[in-house]
Every structure is written in C-alpha cells, then in structure tokens.
Amino acid sequence: MPSGRLDVELRLSLFGLTRSIGMRRLARYRNAAVVLASTLLAIPLVLWLLSPAAVPDLAHGNVAGARALAEGWAKGEMIVLVRHVERCDHAKAACLNNPEGITDRARAVAVGVGARFEQLGLDKADIYNSPLVRTAQTAGYMFNKVDTGEDWLMNCRHDLLRNALAHKVPGRNLILVTHSECMQAMETSLQRPASTFGYGASLFVSTAQPQAPRLLGFIEASDWRSVTFQ
C-alpha cells in the first residue's frame, strides 16, 4: 500500500473470494446514509409541526378552556354549533314519532345538554335550527324553541362562517342546531382539521375579535359533567 495513504483496507474472505473495501469510502457511504435517514425522519416532523392543531376538548379537566368559554359566553361573544341528537334512520332504537327525526331515547340527551346551556345562561342567546326534522326536534327538546328552519344550516359547505357571522348580534350568543358536516365545514373555514363529532356535540367559536373568529373547542354530549368552569 502506498505510504502516506490515510485510509485502511478491510479485507473480507467469503467463500474463498477476497474483497477489499476502502474504509474512507465506507465512511462516506455511512455518512450519506445517516444524512438520508435523518432527512426522512425530519420530513414528517416538520409536516406535523406545520399542520394546524386539532380543536381542543373543553371537557375532562381543561379548566383554562372551560373558563374561557364561560367568560366569552357571559360577554355574548360565542357562536356554538350543536349537532342534532341520535337520528332514527341510522339507529336500531325506536323512533320518537317520525322516521326522519330522532330516536325516543335521544330526548333525554337533548334535555340534558339543554340544561347545561341553561346553566351557562340563555337570556342572551339567539337560537336557530336547520329545517330537517331531526334538528327541529333536537332544538325543541334542548332549548324549548324551534323555528321554521334555516337552509344555510343544512347546505353549509361554503358559506357557513359568513352566514353565522351575519346572524351574530353583538353582545348575544348564537346557538345553531345543525349537522356534523356543518361543524366540519366550520373547522375547515377556520383552517382546522375536520373532527368527528358525536350526536349532541357542541363546537364553540369565539368572536371576541369579530374580524378574526377562532375555534375555542368542543364538548361531547356525554362529557358536560366533566367540564369545570372554575
């Protein structure tokens, strides 16, 4: 081997054949592999860091989130989208009275969620529902109020946020009894990933800054008991 050469040859014998591998070349390959592996690991991390955060769950001990909800509600700053309770045509349970409406057992869920909103206060709240039977029945049992139905709460994929803001009265909360796809449309409008909401879930939007509404969080129907406002 020529004097002064810095790399060392590694000689391997396999099945009687001899191979020589330059250690300097091997190191280059190893370093390239490390860089490639690091890059492949970094890409999903960067994408995760840049992706929009999921909407917070305001239940299960999220004291700060629940307190922000209560304070915003007291000021009349909130828009809340409430999904109708269990629909009859997607369940094996008995219908309330109309196959296009809710199940009989869902009445109690609607009443229970309505009681939680009553605790927040409904004296400064405007309530609208979509024209479908299941949302009208939900609004009736949840808030003791049913209107003729707002088409924009059913056909909601494009202009829901704009329509909601147009119906929001300063100093008054806005309750919209609607559908899961409309709640997802609201998330999309506010640049958040779409969530899967259960029957009777509530999605809260803060309008503390009317020109920049933001998603505050959600509460599933069965989780209200774990919400801590103080």
pLDDT digits (tens, 9 = 90+) for 134-164: 999 999 999 999 988 999 999 998 899 999 9
153/91 same-domain check: yes
Is residue 153 domain-resident? Answer: yes
Q: Is residue 21 part of a domain?
A: yes
Q: By percentage, how much of the chain surpasses pLDDT 90?
A: 72
For the chain, how many structural domains are there in total? 2
Same domain, 123 and 211: yes
1 inside domain: no
CA nearest to 183, candidates 219, 140, 224: 219
Domain containing 80 equals: 63-226
Q: Which of 23, 144, 150, 138 has its CA nearest to residue 83?
A: 138
The beta strand positions in 63-132, using DSSP E, are: 78-83, 125-129
> Could you read off the pLDDT of 163-195 as tens digits, one per residue?
999 999 999 999 999 999 999 999 999 999 999
For residues 173 and 142, membership in a common domain is answered with yes
* Residue 199 counted as domain residue: yes
CA 135/CA 79 separation, integer angstroms: 17
Stronger pLDDT, 83 or 228, i.e. the higher one: 83
Are residue 120 and residue 45 in the same domain, yes or no? no
User: Cβ contacts of residue 58 below 8 Å, gap of 6+?
Assistant: 65, 66, 69, 204, 216, 217, 218, 219, 227
Same-domain status, 136 and 205: yes
Q: Would you say residue 58 lies in a domain? A: no
Look up tokens 């009349």; give the residue.
Answer: 76
**Do 23 and 134 fall into the same domain?**
no
